[in-house]
Amino acid sequence: MSAARVYEERLQPEEFARLEARARAELAGPEGEEIRQQIAWFQRRYATPLERLAYIRRKCAEIATSAPASDPRALEPALDAAGE
């Protein structure tokens, strides 16, 4: 399977939930617990996928407009926040 296909393929909600649960289970120790707490807060604050996507788009736009055009690394924090 090509990398592009992996990103373009739609997952059924059950499959997404299974993969998300597996990823959360792999987080270990205090750092993992902190990450799980942050994810839980984010999902409560932005309850729907559309709200989450809108948040990420706003943040990417903020960073892109405030960063020097000559520094492509300026978008890295926004990409990290988006889970890239």
- Over residues 7-62, the pLDDT tens digits come to 678 888 899 889 888 888 888 788 888 988 998 999 999 999 899 999 999 999 99
Q: What is the mean pLDDT of residues 63-82?
A: 64
**Confidence at residue 84, expressed as pLDDT on a 0 to 100 scale:** 47
Distance in angstroms (rounded) separating the CA atoms of residues 58 and 81: 12
Distance in angstroms (rounded) separating the CA atoms of residues 2 and 11: 16
3-state per-residue secondary structure call for the chain:
CCHHHHHHCCCCHHHHHHHHHHHHHCCCHHHHHHHHHHHHHHHHHCCCHHHHHHHHHHHHHHHHHHCCCCCHHHHHHHHHHCCC
**Confidence at residue 48, expressed as pLDDT on a 0 to 100 scale:** 94
Q: What is the pTM of this model?
A: 0.53
Q: What is the mean pLDDT of residues 70-76?
A: 61
